[in-house]
Amino acid sequence: MFDSKFDKEYFGGPRRFGGKQFHFHAGSEHTVNGKRHDLEMHTVHLPDQPRGGIKYAAMGIFFSVNDFNAKLTSD
């Protein structure tokens, strides 16, 4: 579940969304600054009450095997 700013700040749409499903694309479906990544995960969310023509929200997360910037520790 997450809250958005679609309701008052943008579009007059819904405020609360719940997770519905996720899926992957091996070889990203989208690019960032023209670069395609190794894997892209989409999370799909449905609003508690659709409003303002907004029925879905989706988020894309990119993964790269050799091009990463996470700072990990052994803790």
Distance of alpha carbon 65 from alpha carbon 41, whole angstroms: 14
Q: Quote the pLDDT of residue 40.
A: 96
**Which residues, in sequence order, are bridge partners of residue 60?**
42
Q: Quote the pLDDT of residue 75.
A: 59
Show pLDDT as tens, one digit a residue, over the chain (75 residues): 677 766 666 677 787 889 999 999 999 999 989 999 999 999 999 988 888 888 888 989 999 888 766 666 665
Does residue 27 sit in helix, strand or coil? coil
**Which residues, in sequence order, are bridge partners of residue 5?**
none
Contacts of 56 (CB under 8 A, 6+ apart): 44, 45, 46, 47
